[in-house]
């Protein structure tokens, strides 16, 4: 396997403005706390900040446009006053995406891959911004109700190719279409079949697609299962293993909760992968 340069891997720091996030338990539901957290992620080395106001954990209920806007707009406006890095809005609703872009966001992260709102694709084309299209079976409420695949990788790749073609046919430029295989979204978990591990094992097939690849493994349940059922806040080390593997395989953007630790890991990994005979270590002390 070809080892890619981890120096090229970007980090998308996650800011969940929700009371019921699986990963942080609503710690940043307050707008001021969410803004402070986002700015700290920038200091830690994030290349993007991804703001989401609706939980997409398995079994999650949908949120109204009005409620979602009340959660995310103050955070995006606050972060946009310190425009060190691009802001991504994590939504599948065109009305929310439009307001977020107006408030300072410049990327749309759509877990539905432009399927849930017919106005989303025209909006993205009009604004000329990047969009993340993700693979998911069903919707967050039912995606883990006995998902099944005959050919996991082939079916996910086929879905993403079809959605990319749909996006292009609606006027979205190819370079603005980023793909995400959707770790944990309608994927079987555990033995004898784990679709999440299958995706990770075959990441190069996605990285050779001609599109930027975004991957979100951070603190996901399959990591907890591998580690004997540890809670999300104790999945950092397991998450780092997936990040290192993804970077070597050529994933372009890692969507992460723990930016500082991930940045440090990538910096060391890059030194190992790019080591030369004339290498001179940094002076310490």
Is residue 278 a part of any domain in this protein?
no
> According to the model, what pLDDT value does residue 24 have?
53
Is residue 228 a part of any domain in this protein?
yes
> Which of the residues 188, 220, 235, 263 is marked catalytic?
220
For the chain, report the end-to-end CA distance as a whole number of angstroms.
Answer: 37
Q: What is the DSSP letter of 27?
A: T
Helix (H, G, I), strand (E, B) or coil at 212: strand
Is residue 200 a part of any domain in this protein?
yes
> According to the model, what pLDDT value does residue 277 have?
61
> Which of the residues 71, 93, 255, 263 is marked catalytic?
255
Is 20's pLDDT higher than 90?
no
Is residue 285 a part of any domain in this protein?
no
On the CB side of 56, CA atoms within 13 Å amount to 25
Is residue 187 a part of any domain in this protein?
yes
Average pLDDT of 185-204? 94
Is 284's pLDDT higher than 80?
no
Domain range for residue 115? 9-273
Q: Mean pLDDT lowest for which of 3-7, 100-104, 114-118, 275-279? A: 275-279
Is residue 220 a part of any domain in this protein?
yes
Is residue 280 a part of any domain in this protein?
no
**255 carries an active-site annotation:** yes
On the CB side of 212, CA atoms within 13 Å amount to 20
**174 carries an active-site annotation:** no
Average pLDDT of 158-178? 98
pLDDT digits (tens, 9 = 90+) for 106-141: 999 999 999 999 999 999 999 999 999 999 998 888
pLDDT digits (tens, 9 = 90+) for 205-251: 999 999 999 999 999 999 999 999 999 999 999 999 999 999 999 99
Q: What is the CATH number of the domain that holds 237?
A: 3.20.20.20
Q: What is the DSSP letter of 119?
A: T
Is residue 210 a part of any domain in this protein?
yes
Q: State the Cα–Cα distance between residues 126 and 124, nearest whole angstrom.
A: 5
> According to the model, what pLDDT value does residue 146 have?
87
Q: State the Cα–Cα distance between residues 234 and 96, nearest whole angstrom.
A: 32
Is 279's pLDDT higher than 70?
no
Query: Can you tell me which residue has the tokens 């990285």?
Result: 207
Q: Please give the share of the chain, as a percent, with pLDDT higher than 90.
A: 82
Task: Count structural domains, the chain.
Answer: 1
């Amino acid at each position: 396997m070809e080892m890619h340069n981890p120096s090229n891997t970007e980090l998308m720091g996650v800011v969940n403005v929700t009371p019921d996030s699986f990963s942080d338990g609503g710690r940043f539901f307050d707008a001021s706390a969410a803004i402070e957290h986002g700015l700290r992620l920038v200091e830690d080395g994030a290349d993007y900040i991804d703001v989401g106001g609706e939980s997409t954990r398995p079994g999650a209920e949908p949120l109204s446009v009005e409620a979602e806007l009340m959660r995310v707009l103050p955070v995006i406006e606050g972060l946009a006053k310190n425009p060190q890095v691009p802001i991504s809005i994590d939504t599948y609703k065109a009305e929310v995406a439009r307001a977020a872009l107006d408030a300072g966001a410049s990327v749309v992260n759509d877990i539905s891959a432009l399927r849930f709102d017919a106005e989303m694709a025209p909006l993205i084309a009009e604004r000329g911004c990047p969009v993340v299209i993700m693979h998911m079976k069903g919707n967050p409420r039912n995606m883990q109700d006995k998902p099944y695949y005959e050919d996991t990788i082939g079916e996910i790749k086929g879905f993403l190719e079809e959605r990319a073609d749909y996006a292009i046919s609606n006027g979205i430029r190819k370079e603005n279409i980023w793909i995400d295989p959707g770790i944990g979204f309608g994927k079987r978990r555990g033995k004898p079949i784990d679709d999440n591990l299958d995706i990770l094992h075959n990441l190069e097939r996605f990285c050779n697609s001609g599109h930027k690849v975004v991957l979100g493994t951070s603190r996901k349940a399959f990591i907890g299962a591998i580690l004997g059922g540890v809670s999300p806040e104790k999945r950092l080390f397991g998450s780092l293993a997936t990040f290192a593997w993804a970077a070597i395989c050529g994933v372009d953007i890692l969507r992460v909760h723990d930016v500082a630790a991930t940045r440090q890991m990538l910096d060391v990994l890059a030194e190992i992968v790019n080591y030369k005979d004339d290498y001179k270590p940094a002076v310490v002390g």
